[in-house]
Amino acid sequence: MNKERIFSGMQPSGRFHLGNYMGALGNWVKLQHDYECIFSIVDLHALTSSYADTSQLQENIREMAIDWLSAGLDPEKNIIFVQSHVKEHAELAMLLGMITPLSWLERVPTYKDKIQNLSTQGKDLRTYGFLGYPVLMAADIILYKATRVPVGEDQSAHLELTREMVRRFNYIYNKEVFPEPQAVYSNAKVLPGIDGRKMSKSYDNTIPFGASPEEVEARIKMMITDPQRIKKIDKGNPDICIVYQFQKVFNTSEVEDIERKCRAGEIGCMQCKKILAEKMNVLLADIHLRREELSRKPNYIREVLEHGEKRARVIAEKNMAEIKAAMNVF
């Protein structure tokens, strides 16, 4: 029986955080058993915003591969590779660029926001490459004719654009070359950061994936709870509490009990934070152990990525031939 194909990717742009894990990677680990999965470390995407300083790029790629494997992705079951190693990604992005109306790219909601956000960090994103970010992402997915894309909700506009591009390509060249891919969300499709906004490296509100138990505890202590609650016996409102959002994701077995006690004024915020930190540290402890082990095996990591690259290329070359034939490009 043919399994449906999944494609997803992540930018190797620095410290991997729990938003990436709960929104995407954790879901990949679950999905790997039921789908044919292709996961890519999208280094070309990282270049669209970090083109001026690439000194950490190779290190970040290696670290990301270690993060993925330590979280439980099986390199035999899944194809795991570096985007730029399979040239067809760049080639298809170029070809898709020919049929992509500029207005589609300019209206992507994150486009103008991100230009503004990152300009405060000294990054000038008024580039051709950054405008074309969603085209490259569409190329990643449809190069493999993937039908499912497990991502966080912040990627939904990019996926919508991918579907529009699929429809446009199939229509213009009068052939059903690509299927329309659908997003697959986890139960934490937007994990908040410690300040309540989306957890994101650019807001400096993350809990890093590699955080030590003390660091996890310290970051949780900084989370804002119900501001009306002064004393433990005050009745709390979990709906406006960031710690509660985290309990829902990281502590599913106790969250109902905690919610009830909070509303009744039977559990204090300090205690609630302590329970959360313990839960999160148990989850991370195993991962950190595997991480340490894998960090000592650079050759193994290299082999995993080379093996993935070979397997990805077989599919990419075959599909690329079909795509170019549809466009009469030989």
Q: Where along the sequence are the contacts to ligand TYM (CB under 6 A)?
A: 7-11, 19-20, 23-24, 42, 45, 137, 140-141, 149, 151-152, 154-155, 158, 188-191, 198-200
Query: Reduced to 3 states, what is the DSSP secondary structure of residue 80?
Result: strand
Q: How far is CA 77 from CA 36, 229, 310, in A?
A: 8, 49, 14
SS3 label, residue 71: helix
**How far apart are CB 153 and ligand TYM at their closest, in Å?**
7
Amino acid at 247: Q
Among 149, 120, 123, smallest CA distance to 134 is for 149
Which letter, b or e, does each residue of 136-168 get, where b requires 16 or more Cβ atoms within 10 Å of its Cβ?
Answer: bbbbbbbbbbbbbbbbbeebeebbebbbbbbee
Is residue 169 classed as helix, strand or coil in its secondary structure?
Answer: helix
- Nearer CB in complex with ligand TYM: 67/259: 67
Is 201 among the catalytic positions? yes
Query: Using alpha carbons only, how large is the chain's radius of gyration in Å?
Result: 21
The reply to whether 198 belongs to the active site is yes
When the beta carbons of 81 and 236 are compared against ligand TYM, the nearer one is 81
Work out how close the CB of 28 gets to ligand TYM at its nearest, in angstroms, rounded to a whole number.
9
Clarify whether 310 is annotated catalytic.
Answer: no
Q: Which is nearer to ligand TYM, 67 or 140 (CB)?
A: 140
Q: Which residue's structure tokens are 């093996």?
A: 307
Between 195 and 234, whose beta carbon lies closer to ligand TYM?
A: 195
Answer whether 28's CB lies under 8 Å from 73's CB. Answer: yes
Catalytic residue among 3, 77, 114, 175: 114
CA gap 254, 247 in Å, rounded: 8
What dihedral angle (degrees, nearest 10) is formed by the CA atoms of 298, 312, 89, 145?
-140
- State in angstroms the smallest separation of the CB of 158 from ligand TYM: 6
Which two tokens mark 256? Answer: 């109902």
Q: Report, in Å, the least distance between residue 165 CB and ligand TYM.
A: 13
Q: Which two tokens stand for residue 23?
A: 């929104």
Task: State the catalytic residue, choosing from 198, 248, 261, 324.
Answer: 198
Residue with smallest beta-carbon separation from ligand TYM:
23
Output the smallest distance, CB 315 to ligand TYM, in A: 15
Nearer to ligand TYM, 89 or 279 (CB): 89
Q: Taking the alpha carbons of 290, 292, 297, 302 in that order, is the dihedral positive or negative?
A: positive
| Annotated catalytic residue, options 201, 261, 274, 324 | 201
Six token digits for residue 175: 């052939």
Q: How far is the CB of 223 from ligand TYM (least distance, A)?
A: 14
Residue indicated by tokens 């906004």: 197
Question: Would you please indicate which residues are annotated as catalytic (active-site) residues?
Answer: 114, 198, 201
